[in-house]
Amino acid sequence: MQHRDESLKTCYIVYALLIVLLVLTVIAARVDFSQHGFDYLNLNIVIALVIAVLKAVLVMLFFMHVRLSSRLTWVFASTAFFFLALLLAFTVADYSARPMDRTIAPPDAPVVANFDHP
């Protein structure tokens, strides 16, 4: 079996894409997308997850050399992404099933510890 390797040019292009995605992550973290008419959906989390998945796929395909690997490696890498998606889906389902009224205390209320209870 012949071992193929990524060219240095390809590595630099992927590195530049990762830097661009990093800058997009920082920009997306500083902008509140719920102020732009998307109150029903927290777009900040969606955008952050999409950028994180893109970065993970780039690292996996090019720097971990999955792109040039055997089909068995693809099966294991795809299985990992499948279980990650399953974990995220269950987390979102659990979070969305909770009541929307989360105003137990005002955001600026001081946190007080109760030391009287044993």
Q: For 14-69, what is each residue's pLDDT tens digit?
A: 999 999 999 999 998 898 877 666 555 678 888 898 999 999 999 999 988 898 88
The pLDDT-based confidence of 12 (bands split at 50, 70, 90) is: very high
For 1-118, strand residue ranges (E) read none
Please calculate the CA angle 100-103-106 and round it to the nearest 5 degrees: 155
Q: Is the pLDDT of residue 112 over 60?
A: yes
Give the per-residue pLDDT at 104.
61
pTM (two decimals): 0.69
Give the per-residue pLDDT at 106.
63
Q: Is the pLDDT of residue 4 over 80?
A: no
Domain boundaries, the chain: 8-96
Give the per-residue pLDDT at 33.
76
Give the per-residue pLDDT at 65.
87
Tokens standing for residue 95:
């979070």
Residues 6+ apart with CB under 8 A from 88: 49
- DSSP code string of 70-104: -HHHHHHHHHHHHHHHHHHHHHHHHHHTS-S---S
pLDDT tens digits, residue range 53-110?
Answer: 999 999 999 988 898 889 999 999 999 889 988 998 898 888 778 776 655 666 676 7
